[in-house]
Amino acid sequence: MTYKDSKSDERVHTDFREKMTYGEYLNLDELLSAQNRLSSHHDEMLFIVIHQVSELWMKLILHELRASIDAIRGGEMSSAFKMLARVSKIQTQIIHAWDVLSTLTPAEYIEFRDKLGQASGFQSYQYRMIEFALGYKTPHVLKIYEKDPELHSMLKESYQAPSIYDAAIEALANAGFDINPELLNRDFTVTYQGDESVEKAWTEVYLNVDQYWDLYELAEKLVDIEDWLQQWRFRHMKTVERIIGHKMGTGGSSGVGYLKKVLDHRFFPELWDIRTNL
């Protein structure tokens, strides 16, 4: 059955007895029934929705990062650039989410904060997997999810996998740059700290952009992602400070103190150092 809109002359389907609806395709019944408040406070809904939406965006970031790593290692740079550009756009959406959450006042949050128990965004396994994919390997998060063998196994696999920067360094080597061979077969569970051979290679790329355009564009895409991630971290820190001040986080972290400390971490150190040295 169709319904003809007299104004637009469009034929809209109205009979879905044997066809899939929009809501069924998106599993909206399940998705929209997952906002279960533990208090009667009005603003707990805001808190839940913001964090759930952010987790959905992070799921897509991981989807794109994993595919881009495979593309870089397979020499398909154009595909990787498309995916990494999408990651940067997604990151802007997550940053804007903090603007919405910051409408939650301290007086409102304390009305339901105790209902969270020890649950905390600090325990977000998808965020940790994004850090893993970017090269920041922190083993303590693995312990949090030992209670869930399937999830723990997934995290461990991500923890042991090469990061996107490892893939980029491999691409430099494949392009003929003299990269320290120890980097190409290193223990990927160790957070990368930097290497002179990689800095020399990136310097050469930036001094000869026309010759190494794909590597240059890859470098800039990585800088975009780290830049946006640090902006996300900063907005996270300021939103937490605005709502709970310097209280300890529900998950046991130092809260604002911890969030300020991680702002100093760099994922792709040489890509920032060469800007001073060029």
The answer to whether 189 touches 139, Cβ cutoff 8 Å, is: yes
Cβ atoms of 161 and 132 within 8 Å: the answer is yes
Residue 109 annotated as part of some ligand binding site: yes
Return d(Cα 24, Cα 130) in angstroms, integer. Answer: 29
- Cα 112–chain centre separation: 27
Q: Is residue 48 marked as binding?
A: yes
Q: Is 250 annotated as ligand-binding?
A: yes
Residue 41 has which token pair? Answer: 């406070």
Contact (CB, 8 A) for 118 and 251: yes
Q: Determine whether the annotation assigns residue 236 to a binding site.
A: yes
The answer to the question of whether 47 is labelled as a binding residue is yes
Helices 164-174 + 196-207 axis angle, to 10: 70
Residues sharing a CB contact under 8 Å with residue 76, sequence separation 6 or more, in sequence order: none
H/E stretch holding 14: none
Is 51 known to sit in a ligand binding site?
A: yes
Bridge partners, 11 (sequence order): 4
Which residues are annotated binding-site positions for heme?
236
Which residues are annotated binding-site positions for substrate?
47-51, 109, 113, 250
Which residues are annotated binding-site positions?
47-51, 109, 113, 236, 250
